[in-house]
């Protein structure tokens, strides 16, 4: 089949192109080329999706499947207008951020969405969810429900995760900041996590796109309690030190952020407001062929990638070793004054 990836020079899009090539499909990627190159074997069509004529070249060809990773409604609007009669099916990579509520565990695709962003341009990530809703609506409006697969992805992980979220725990456990192997963790052992391996998502997008699967699907990893996620990370990191379990309020008081960004602890999502964010129902996608590899495999591979990239480089999420060392010292000093605060040996 002929695949057109709108993107393909960054992480997920590159994996989609790789998966399509591995299945013998012909692949072209449309991008500026500023994020990187598409995988060997895929053609690069250089274009800027901000330009009205971006799709002139690809609009002269017939495509079986288009896979789009855009965040900007204008990019999707112009693409769908240019390609709706040139392309069989449109696979749009959306996000769980389209949902209005993240507090309800187990919610499926019927949950209410945010209102769509008006206009073509998402000015900042504050309106990422609304922008993705607008993108979904452009695709459905141009192609109709029977020719569209919308994959609402949860946290994507594995080798190449430049956000740093899925590599943090195996990396930190493999390279503790403290000489005695202690690692600071949030006291959220029963909070849900869902990590979807980028390769599993890419394979499913290609296969479901090729087979004509239509509809909106939550594309997420297995729901795993944070404590079990840490166990898996400790196994692949061969960690035998103590986990120093700090309450959420203590972390907040010490300027540690949940989820991502500088001075953060990844996979920590405050409850009750985010109790459902990493606990979405993915049964429809699994029934439609989404296959999940074991979490240990994803964590082992992202650890290998993190170590190759450099354990002490600047990262998109987590604590630096210096920050974690200071926090561990503070915690140890304050702990005797508050018996509720504890360290747990493995």
Ligand X SMILES: NC(=O)c1ccc[n+]([C@@H]2O[C@H](COP(=O)([O-])OP(=O)(O)OC[C@H]3O[C@@H](n4cnc5c(N)ncnc54)[C@H](OP(=O)(O)O)[C@@H]3O)[C@@H](O)[C@H]2O)c1
Shortest separation between residue 155's beta carbon and ligand X, angstroms: 5
DSSP states of 1-51 as a string? -EEEEE--SSHHHHHHHHHHHHTT-EEEEEE-SSS--PPTTSEEEE--TTS
- 12 binding ligand X? (CB under 6 A): yes
- 89 binding ligand X? (CB under 6 A): no
Cis check for the bond before 36: say yes or no (omega within 30 of 0): no
- 98 binding ligand X? (CB under 6 A): no
- 135 binding ligand X? (CB under 6 A): no
Give the Cα separation of 207 and 74 in Å (integer): 27
Which one among 18, 28, 80, 163 touches ligand X, defined by CB under 6 A? Answer: 163
- 218 binding ligand X? (CB under 6 A): no
Which one among 3, 9, 167, 169 touches ligand X, defined by CB under 6 A? Answer: 9
Sign of the Cα torsion 243, 181, 230, 202 reads positive
Count of residues that bind ligand X according to CB under 6 A: 23
- 155 binding ligand X? (CB under 6 A): yes
Q: Which is nearer to ligand X, 35 or 235 (CB)?
A: 35
Which one among 11, 204, 250, 331 touches ligand X, defined by CB under 6 A? Answer: 11
Phi, psi of 174 (to 5 degrees): -80, -25
Which stretch in 17-25, 27-35, 244-252, 309-317 sits in contact with ligand X by CB under 6 A? Answer: 27-35
Do the strands 183-186 and 196-197 form a parallel or antiparallel pair, or are they unpaired?
A: unpaired
- 13 binding ligand X? (CB under 6 A): yes
Residue-wise over 315-335: b if at least 16 C-beta within 10 A, else e? bbbbbeeebbbebbeebeeeb
Shortest separation between residue 35's beta carbon and ligand X, angstroms: 3
- 19 binding ligand X? (CB under 6 A): no
The interface with ligand X within residues 46-65 (CB under 6 A) comprises: 48-50
Q: Which is nearer to ligand X, 49 or 191 (CB)?
A: 49
Please check whether residue 159 is in contact with residue 301, taking contact to mean a CB–CB distance below 8 angstroms: yes
Q: Which helix (H) or strand (E) element contains residue 257?
A: strand 257-259
Binding site for ligand X (CB under 6 A): 7-13, 31-35, 48-50, 69, 71, 93, 95, 153, 155-156, 163
């Amino acid at each position: 089949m002929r695949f057109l990836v709108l993107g393909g020079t960054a992480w997920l899009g590159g994996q989609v192109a790789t998966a399509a090539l591995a299945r013998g499909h012909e692949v072209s990627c449309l991008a500026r080329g500023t994020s990187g190159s598409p995988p060997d074997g895929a053609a690069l069509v250089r274009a800027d999706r901000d330009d009205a004529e971006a799709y002139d070249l690809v609009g002269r060809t017939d495509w079986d499947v288009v896979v789009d990773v855009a965040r900007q409604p204008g990019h999707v609007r112009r693409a769908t207008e240019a390609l709706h009669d040139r392309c069989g099916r449109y696979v749009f990579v959306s996000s769980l951020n389209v949902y209005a509520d993240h507090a309800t565990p187990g919610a499926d695709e019927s949950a209410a969405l945010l209102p769509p962003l008006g206009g073509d341009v998402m000015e900042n990530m504050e309106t990422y969810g609304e922008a993705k809703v607008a993108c979904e609506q452009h695709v459905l409006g141009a192609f109709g429900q029977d020719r569209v697969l919308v994959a609402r992805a949860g946290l994507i992980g594995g080798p190449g995760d430049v956000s740093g979220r899925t590599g943090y725990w195996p990396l930190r456990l493999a390279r503790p900041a403290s000489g005695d192997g202690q690692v600071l963790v949030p006291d959220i052992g029963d909070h849900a996590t869902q990590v979807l391996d980028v390769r599993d998502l890419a394979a499913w997008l290609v296969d479901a796109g090729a087979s004509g699967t239509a509809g909106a699907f939550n594309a997420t990893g297995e729901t795993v309690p944070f404590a079990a996620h840490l166990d898996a990370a400790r196994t692949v990191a061969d960690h035998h030190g103590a986990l120093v379990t700090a309450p959420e309020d203590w972390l907040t008081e010490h300027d540690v952020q949940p989820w991502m960004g500088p001075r953060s602890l990844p996979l920590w999502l405050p409850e009750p407001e985010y109790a459902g964010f990493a606990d979405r129902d993915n049964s429809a996608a699994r029934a439609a062929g989404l296959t999940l590899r074991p979490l240990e495999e994803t964590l082992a591979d992202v650890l290998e990638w993190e170590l190759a990239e450099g354990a002490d480089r600047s990262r998109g999420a987590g604590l630096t070793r210096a920050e974690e060392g200071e926090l561990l010292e503070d915690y140890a000093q304050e702990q005797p004054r508050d018996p509720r605060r504890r360290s747990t040996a493995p």
